[in-house]
Amino acid sequence: MTQSPITDAHCHLDFPDFDDERDDIIARAMAAGVTRMVTICTKLKNEPAVRAIAESYDQVFYAAGTHPMSVADEPLASVDELIALAQHPKFVGIGETGLDYHYTAESKDIQQTSLRIHIAAARETRLPLIIHARDADDDMARILTEEYRNGAFTCVMHCFSSSAGLARAALDLDFYLSMSGIAAFPKSKDLRDIFASAPLDRILVETDSPYLAPPPHRGRRNEPAYTAHTAAVGAEIFGLDYADFAAATNENFDRLFWKAAS
C-alpha cells in the first residue's frame, strides 16, 4: 500500500472493537500513510472518553454530537453545550448529527430538532457540521438549505451513500462529500458515478471504522489504515495517481477542518 499521506476524516476509536489495541491501530494507520484521524463521539455522555483518546495521540482529533439514532434516548444537546466543548484545541467538528429514517423514523421530529441545534452550533463556532443521512434525503436537503439561508455554515456529508439529488443539494451549498468503504464495494457503481460527477475539491475520505471495511477486508472489522484502500478507488474514480488524489483530499480536509490543518 502506498505511503502518500492521507486523512481518515471519520472513525470511532472509542468503540469497544478497538479496546486494548489502540496503540497498534494508530501504528498501522501511520504505516499505511494515514497521518491524521478524526474520532467521532456519538453520545455526549461519552465525550470525556473520546477527548482522552484525542489527547493521547498527536495524530487524532475529535468531534462530538448526538447521533440521530440515539436522539430519542439521550438528553437533547444545547447549542451552548456544543460551543463549550468546541473550545478544546483538538475538537474540530460538530456531530455527528443528521437524520436516520431507516431504523429510527419514529423519532424523526426530535431528530430534526437536534439537527437544527447542531447546525446552530456549527454556525456559531465556524466548525464543520458532520452529517449522517439515511433514507431521509428530502428532509435533509430541505433542512440544510433552509438553515443555510438563515446563516452560512460548513458541512460534510459523512459516509455519503445517498441519492444524486441529495449530493447535488449539498454541493450547491459548497458542502463536502466523504467517501467511505461503501464506494469501493463492487455493487456501488451508481455511488461511484455520483462521486465522479462531484468537484474534486469537495471530496474527503474516511473509514467510519469499525464499520464498512472496503475490499479486501470487507466483512471484517474496519480500521483507519484501510482509508488507503478507499482512497485507491477514489483515485481511479477521478483518474488520478494515488498520491495526487491523497494530496487533493488532504487539502480539502485542511480547508474544512481548519483546526486540524497540518
- pLDDT tens, residue by residue, 222-250: 999 999 999 999 999 999 999 999 999 99
Range of the domain at 66: 6-260
Segment (H or E) for 247: helix 242-256
Cell numbers at residue 242, please?
494515488
Residue 149: the pLDDT is 97
Residue 1: the pLDDT is 47
pTM above 0.95, yes or no: yes
Q: What is the dihedral of CA 32, 244, 13, 88, to 10 degrees?
A: 130
Q: What is the mean pLDDT of residues 149-156?
A: 98
In a domain, residue 21? The reply is: yes
- Per the structure, the count of domains in the chain is 1
CA distances from 89 to 19, 96, 217, 257 (A): 24, 18, 34, 12
Q: What is the mean pLDDT of residues 242-259?
A: 98
In a domain, residue 205? The reply is: yes
Measured from the Cβ of residue 262, the count of other Cβ atoms closer than 10 Å reads: 10
Question: Model confidence over 28-53: pLDDT tens digits?
Answer: 999 999 999 999 999 999 999 999 99
Give residue 3's pLDDT band: very low, low, confident or very high (50, 70, 90).
confident
CA distances from 261 to 152, 173, 248 (A): 21, 22, 13
* Rounded distance between C-alpha atoms, residue 154 and residue 176, angstroms: 8
Residue 262: the pLDDT is 61
In a domain, residue 202? The reply is: yes
Cell numbers at residue 256, please?
474544512
Mean pLDDT (the chain) is: 97
Cell numbers at residue 29, please?
494507520
Q: What is the dihedral of CA 248, 158, 180, 208, to 10 degrees?
A: 120
CATH number of residue 239's parent domain: 3.20.20.140
Question: Model confidence over 94-147: pLDDT tens digits?
Answer: 999 999 999 999 999 999 999 999 999 999 999 999 999 999 999 999 999 999
84 Cβ contact partners less than 8 Å away, ≥ 6 residues apart: none
Beta bridge partners of 178: 204
pLDDT at 170 over 80: yes
In a domain, residue 1? The reply is: no
